[in-house]
Amino acid sequence: MSGNNSGRMLYIGDRDISSWSLRPFMALRHAGIAFDTTVIRLRQHDTKARILKVSPNGKVPCFVDHGFVLPDSLAICEYAADLAPQAKLWPDDILDRAAARAISCEMHSGFAPMRQAMSMDITATLPPVAGTNPDVDADVARVIKIWTTALDAHTGPYLFGHFTIADAMYAPVVSRFRTYGVNPGGKAQTYMDTIWAHPAMIEWVDAARGE
């Protein structure tokens, strides 16, 4: 747990495996919002009971802001954008903003084969999955297409120029690609390096190694 006594607490799962927890963590950190962090260990006999004490849907992450409870990754990111508008967690341009929301929602609700076959294990190096499952290959190709389309339309280094919620939503995929040896090359590879070097990602990975 961090100790800034902000009145705001982000409850997360193990940093090594909780991809959904990483997303709002990056958005909140990037926005400069003060918050404490509490880890609830996953895959334990009492995990569900412990989470239900703080999160009404029994899932993490869950953000508590002075008693207000928000238990969804994308909703927490949206809330961060409202708390810190100066951080510009969504693009200013209306079309870019719509596109960023669309690919964020696609990440939020899609890519089930890739999620299942390439679960996040942020500190590990595991055998490649690409080429063994056509559904996973389709998901990987779609992610790379999303990245390259956005990067082609903007100056980088992030999907819409500056860091946005869309980058936070795809940060765990960068981790998955690194773990399972997916090296797309070109702009997509450079983008992966950019996300991996983000201060919030560095903080997260260092803490994961400590866990």
Digit-coded pLDDT (tens) for 93-137: 999 999 999 999 999 999 999 999 999 999 999 999 988 999 999
Taking CA atoms, 172 is separated from 5, 50, 63, in Å, by 28, 24, 19
pLDDT of residue 2: 47
- CA atoms of 137 and 145, how far apart (whole Å): 12
Low-confidence ranges of the chain (pLDDT < 70): 1-5
pLDDT of residue 1: 45
CATH of 94-200, one of 3.10.450.50, 1.10.760.10, 1.20.1050.10, 1.10.3720.10: 1.20.1050.10
Cβ atoms < 10 Å from Cβ of 68: 9
pLDDT of residue 4: 54
Enumerate the domain spans of the chain: 8-87, 94-200
Tokens of 47: 């995990």
Would you call 14 helix, strand, or coil by DSSP? coil
- CA atoms of 174 and 204, how far apart (whole Å): 13
pLDDT of residue 130: 82
pLDDT of residue 5: 57
Q: What are phi and psi of 114, to 5 degrees?
A: -65, -40
Class of domain 8-87: alpha beta
pLDDT of residue 131: 87
Q: What are phi and psi of 4, to 5 degrees?
A: -95, -5
